[in-house]
Every structure is written in structure tokens, then in C-alpha cells.
């Protein structure tokens, strides 16, 4: 599993940052990509990666501000000519998204050659998506803005080959059959497969925020707790906590202080204001611990499974 930043800027694109779009690469797991937000030019951004639009089967929009959605109609239209024919797509987002996309495609004379389904998200809901559990949480912004929490299912533990050999089953194709079944028989005895498996490997948890002020409610922190990767906005990087609050955004140290109450493996700060140049970013990045980093366009982060 990998997380790729297609755009890491806030508000409007700059020479070095496009606005917010991400790819959750789960090709190794289920042969698909999830697209989270679709900033202007996202279809062009994808051309600079190995992502195949036809393998994007689900799009998740955090909120309806332009820097998060202006690229969606273009992506939908391009996908129709990039292997997406007859391959369904589901788009998740706040109320109004379906109407806006539909009107844009209609007025522009765009015709899709695949079915598209819209899911209107709401606060504190859970959705089953390709075996993943996806939870939504309403954030604190000028419009309804959501966090998506992607929970991967746990993976079966490894077969205890020594234990199988002890009952007379030697390595071979039967091992795969055993692991895929609840019980198996050998020598006239029926065994529970679970007795021959190691501890299950926990699924990964990725919490991706839309624009928001810092959230401190216990329910929110509990939901984010245990994330392998948190993606959070940091429009303000240096001490302007009050200003960030006024404009319904977040300041980086305030976020870190808030998350000191929970456990997580890594946090990625994105949605960076254009006021900060490369020297600013390098200087601020040096003040962060190993668990935190500031996003740049085309950054890739590998999210490993951690065995118990």
C-alpha cells in the first residue's frame, strides 16, 4: 500500500504545488486505486505517475471548495478514453456534488461510456468499499468538510508448517487449500484451520482530512487513534494559531500538540499555503520528528503492514 500526493497546495496552484489531490495505491491488495479529492489538472498530474485511471473505481471528495473538485469533471471525461469504458465508478462526497458534476458534464457536452454512482456522505457514517471499511467524520470548516478513515481488513496469519508436518501433511498445493478453508480433514480426523495459523496481521488505517480547524472532541480523537498514516492540513506552518482558527484552517504545531494525546505511526501535513517557499519548508521540516513530514507534489509514502 502506498500514498501518493498529486497536489499539496492550498487555495490556488503555484509553480511548485498543485492543489489537493491524493492517490491511495492498493493495487497490490485489490488491484485498484482510490482517488481522494480532485484538484484542477488532476488528470494531467496522473500522467506523471504509473496510475491507470481505469483502475480508479472509487473517488472520495472531502468538500466542495474549488481547489478540491475543479479537476473532477476532467478526470471523469478522460477516464472514459483511458481504458475506463464499461468499468463502473463510485463517487463519494457531500450533498451537491452530484448536481454540480452532472450539470458540468451536460453543459460541456461530455459523455461517459461507463456507469457512475454517487454516494452522499454524512457525519459519523460507515461504508463498505471493496472490503475496506470507510468512515466519515464532519470536520470544522466554512462548508461541510469530511475526514475519510480507511480501515483495511486484517490478514490471516501464516500457516504453521511445522504443525502441519507433525500431523503428516507435507508442503504442497494442499497448504493453500487448507488456509482458504475453515476446517480440513486428514487421516480421518477433522481439524480447525485456525489452530494451524499464526496471529492475524492487523489491517492498516489511513485518516485523510479535508480542510478543518483543529478538532479536539473525544469522538474525533478516538476515531483517528491508531492510524498508520494521518493526512492533515497545515495551511499555516508558523505560529499563527489564532489566524488559522479565524479562517477555519490549522497550524502545524497546534495539530501536533492535539495529536500528542493519541497513538499513530506517521503524520503528513499538506494543503500548504503559497506564502511558504522552499527554504521555509526545509527549515520547518527540520523541527519535526521522524513521525511527521510536510508534503510535496509527487511524494510517495509506503504504508507497511505491522505484524503483532
Confirm whether 67 is a catalytic residue. yes
Q: Work out the angle at residue 147's Cα, subtended by the Cα atoms of residues 142 and 148, and round it to the nearest 5 degrees.
A: 150
For the stretch 159-177, pLDDT in tens is: 999 999 999 999 999 999 9
Q: Identify the band that residue 126 occupies on the pLDDT scale cut at 50, 70 and 90.
A: very high
Q: Report how far residue 59's alpha carbon sits from residue 89's, in angstroms, rounded to the nearest whole number.
A: 8
Q: pTM for the complete prediction?
A: 0.92
Neighbours of 16 (CB within 10 A): 14
Has residue 168 been placed in a domain? yes
Nearest to 303 by CA among 230, 234, 219, 233: 230
Q: Are residues 192 and 117 in the same domain?
A: no
Question: What is the phi/psi pair of residue 161, to 5°?
Answer: -65, -35
**Residue 185 β-bridge partners:** 190
C-alpha 27: how far from chain center = 13
Strands 267-270 and 229-233: parallel
Q: Are residues 167 and 247 in the same domain?
A: no
Place of cell 488559522: 244
Q: Which residues of 284-298 are buried (b: 16+ CB within 10 A; e: fewer)?
A: beeeeeeebbbbbbe
The reply, when asked if residue 296 is annotated as ligand binding, is no
Has residue 122 been placed in a domain? yes
- How large is the average pLDDT for residues 189-195? 94
The predicted structure's pLDDT at residue 166? 94
* Segment among 117-121, 148-152, 175-179 with least mean pLDDT: 175-179
Catalytic residue chosen out of the listed positions 25, 37, 67, 297: 67
The reply, when asked if residue 68 is annotated as ligand binding, is yes
Has residue 307 been placed in a domain? no
pLDDT of 11 > 90? The answer is: yes
Written in H, E and C, the secondary structure of 256-273 is: HHHHCCCCECCEEEECEC
For the stretch 263-289, pLDDT in tens is: 999 999 999 999 999 999 999 999 998
Q: Are residues 247 and 291 in the same domain?
A: yes
The predicted structure's pLDDT at residue 129? 97
The reply, when asked if residue 123 is annotated as ligand binding, is no
For the stretch 28-44, pLDDT in tens is: 999 999 999 999 999 99
Q: Report how far residue 94's alpha carbon sits from residue 119's, in angstroms, rounded to the nearest whole number.
A: 8
Q: Report how far residue 262's alpha carbon sits from residue 216's, in angstroms, rounded to the nearest whole number.
A: 11
Q: Are residues 181 and 283 in the same domain?
A: no
Q: Are residues 233 and 141 in the same domain?
A: yes
Q: Are residues 112 and 60 in the same domain?
A: yes
Q: Are residues 286 and 174 in the same domain?
A: no
**Which domain covers residue 178, as residue numbers?**
161-196
The reply, when asked if residue 232 is annotated as ligand binding, is no
% residues pLDDT > 70 (the chain): 99
The predicted structure's pLDDT at residue 195? 94
The predicted structure's pLDDT at residue 289? 85
Taken in order 256, 258, 261, 267, the sign of the CA dihedral is: negative
Q: Are residues 79 and 188 in the same domain?
A: no
The predicted structure's pLDDT at residue 199? 87
Q: Report how far residue 260's alpha carbon sits from residue 18's, in angstroms, rounded to the nearest whole number.
A: 30
Q: Are residues 75 and 7 in the same domain?
A: yes
In the chain, the number of structural domains is 2
The predicted structure's pLDDT at residue 239? 86
Reduced to 3 states (helix: H, G, I; strand: E, B; else coil), residue 56 is: strand
Q: Which residues of 115-127 are buried (b: 16+ CB within 10 A; e: fewer)?
A: ebebbebeeeeeb
pLDDT of 308 > 60? The answer is: no
Q: What is the CATH number of the domain that holds 282?
A: 3.60.15.10
The reply, when asked if residue 211 is annotated as ligand binding, is yes
The reply, when asked if residue 249 is annotated as ligand binding, is no
Q: Are residues 257 and 118 in the same domain?
A: yes
- How large is the average pLDDT for residues 219-233? 98
The reply, when asked if residue 63 is annotated as ligand binding, is yes
Question: What is the phi/psi pair of residue 282, to 5°?
Answer: -60, -45
The predicted structure's pLDDT at residue 307? 63
Helix (H) or strand (E) holding 46: helix 42-46
Has residue 308 been placed in a domain? no
**Residue 223 β-bridge partners:** none
The predicted structure's pLDDT at residue 109? 95
Helices 72-79 and 97-107 cross at an angle (nearest 10°) of 60
Q: Are residues 190 and 211 in the same domain?
A: no
User: Three cell numbers at 55?
Assistant: 483502475
CB 148 within 8 A of CB 63: no
User: Three cell numbers at 89?
Assistant: 465508478
The predicted structure's pLDDT at residue 86? 97
Q: Identify the band that residue 66 occupies on the pLDDT scale cut at 50, 70 and 90.
A: very high
Has residue 66 been placed in a domain? yes
Reduced to 3 states (helix: H, G, I; strand: E, B; else coil), residue 174 is: helix
Q: Are residues 36 and 127 in the same domain?
A: yes
The predicted structure's pLDDT at residue 296? 96
CB 267 within 8 A of CB 256: yes
Amino acid at each position: 500500500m502506498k500514498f501518493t500526493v498529486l497536489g499539496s497546495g492550498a487555495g490556488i496552484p503555484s509553480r511548485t504545488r498543485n492543489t489537493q489531490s491524493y492517490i491511495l495505491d492498493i493495487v497490490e491488495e485489490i488491484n485498484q486505486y482510490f482517488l481522494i479529492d480532485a484538484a484542477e489538472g488532476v488528470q494531467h498530474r496522473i500522467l506523471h505517475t504509473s496510475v491507470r485511471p481505469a483502475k480508479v473505481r472509487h473517488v472520495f471528495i472531502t468538500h466542495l471548495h474549488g481547489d478540491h473538485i475543479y479537476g473532477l469533471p476532467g478526470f471523469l471525461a478522460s477516464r472514459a478514453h483511458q481504458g475506463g469504458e464499461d468499468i463502473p465508478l463510485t463517487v463519494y462526497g457531500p450533498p451537491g456534488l452530484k448536481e454540480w458534476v452532472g450539470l458540468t458534464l451536460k453543459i460541456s457536452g461530455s459523455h461517459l461510456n461507463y456507469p457512475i454512482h454517487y454516494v452522499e456522505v454524512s457525519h459519523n457514517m460507515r461504508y463498505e468499499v471493496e472490503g475496506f471499511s470507510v468512515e466519515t467524520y464532519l470536520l470544522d470548516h466554512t462548508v461541510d468538510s469530511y475526514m475519510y478513515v480507511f480501515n483495511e481488513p486484517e490478514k490471516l496469519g501464516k500457516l504453521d508448517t511445522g504443525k502441519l508436518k507433525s500431523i503428516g501433511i507435507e508442503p504442497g498445493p494442499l497448504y493453500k487449500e487448507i488456509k482458504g478453508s475453515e476446517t480440513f480433514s486428514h487421516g480421518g480426523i477433522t481439524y480447525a484451520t485456525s489452530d494451524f495459523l499464526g496471529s492475524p496481521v492487523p489491517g492498516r488505517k489511513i485518516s485523510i482530512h479535508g480542510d478543518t480547524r483543529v478538532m479536539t472532541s473525544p469522538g474525533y480523537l478516538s476515531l483517528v487513534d491508531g492510524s498508520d498514516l494521518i493526512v492533515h492540513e497545515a495551511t499555516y506552518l508558523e505560529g499563527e494559531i489564532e489566524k488559522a482558527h479565524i479562517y477555519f484552517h490549522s497550524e502545524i504545531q497546534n495539530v501536533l500538540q492535539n495529536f500528542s494525546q493519541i497513538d499513530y505511526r506517521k503524520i503528513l501535513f499538506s494543503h500548504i499555503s503559497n506564502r511558504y517557499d522552499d527554504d521555509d519548508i526545509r527549515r520547518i521540516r527540520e523541527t519535526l520528528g521522524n513521525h511527521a513530514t510536510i508534503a510535496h507534489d509527487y511524494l510517495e509514502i509506503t504504508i507497511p503492514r505491522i505484524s503483532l
